[in-house]
Amino acid sequence: MINKGKYSVIIPAAGYSERMGVDKLLLKREDGITFISHLIDFYAASFANPIIVVVNRKSRFSQELKSPVRVVINDFIEKGRTFSIKIGIEVLPEGIPCFIHNIDNPHVDSRMIRQMLSEISDDSYCVPIFQGRRGHPVLLSRNIVSYIRSISIFTDLREVLSNYKRIEIQCNTDKVLLNINTPDDYRKYLSGSD
């Protein structure tokens, strides 16, 4: 298990999943476990605290929640994923780094998370890389989290991150690049094809 100091995770899942046609929270992995249950179970077992799940008011997410999971409602879906990240950060405790783990990428592994936590510095962020392409999750340092919390207008995470050092964690799997947005993406994911 992972125990590299305190850290948190935000799982932005507030979109209406219009291209997918069903709530991505309820999509199942090849083993039958929903994406959201898998991510929550992984991060809870890895001592992330809190685990923030950002959903819309119509979400059918009904998992029995217990500490360290907290649900935040995004009533302004039109503001996009960045707004979900902002309102998730606003409920985090001060002074800890935070993973941003998109619901449409159910891949996560202990070794990668442990390496990201060991390499993060206060003025940097970590991102997994596969064959030169950046993937997920992204780990924000505590200084970046504090900065995002302090600003009133936050429209683009990439723009904020451009002011910080990027630490790249080389990965040996293209699963860090997953972005499951359509039924076809989901079929490919389940079949194991690219």
Q: Report the pLDDT value the prediction gives residue 5, as an integer from 0 to 100.
A: 59
CB-based contact 70:40 (threshold 8 Å): no
CB-based contact 155:137 (threshold 8 Å): no
Q: Report the pLDDT value the prediction gives residue 2, as an integer from 0 to 100.
A: 40
Give the integer Cα–Cα distance in Å for 122 and 35: 30
Rounded to 5 degrees, what are φ and ψ at 72?
Answer: -120, 135
Contacts of 113 (CB under 8 A, 6+ apart): 2, 46, 99, 137
Contacts of 163 (CB under 8 A, 6+ apart): none
Q: Where do the domains of the chain lie? A: 8-191
Q: Report the pLDDT value the prediction gives residue 66, as an integer from 0 to 100.
A: 66
Give the integer Cα–Cα distance in Å for 30 and 10: 23
Q: Report the pLDDT value the prediction gives residue 20, as an integer from 0 to 100.
A: 72
Indicate the CATH number of 8-191 among 1.10.3720.10, 1.10.260.40, 3.90.550.10, 3.40.50.620.
Answer: 3.90.550.10
Q: Report the pLDDT value the prediction gives residue 194, as an integer from 0 to 100.
A: 46
Q: What DSSP designation does 74 have?
A: -
pTM of the model: 0.90
Give the integer Cα–Cα distance in Å for 151 and 149: 6
Give, for 89, the enclosing helix (H) or strand (E). helix 80-89
Q: Report the pLDDT value the prediction gives residue 132, as an integer from 0 to 100.
A: 94
- In DSSP terms, which residues pair with 125 in a beta bridge? 140, 166
Q: Which residues of the chain have pLDDT under 70?
A: 1-5, 21, 60-67, 193-194
Q: Give, in degrees to the nearest 5, the angle at Cα 47 between 144 and 90.
A: 35
Q: Any idea which residue has 């990201």 for tokens?
A: 116
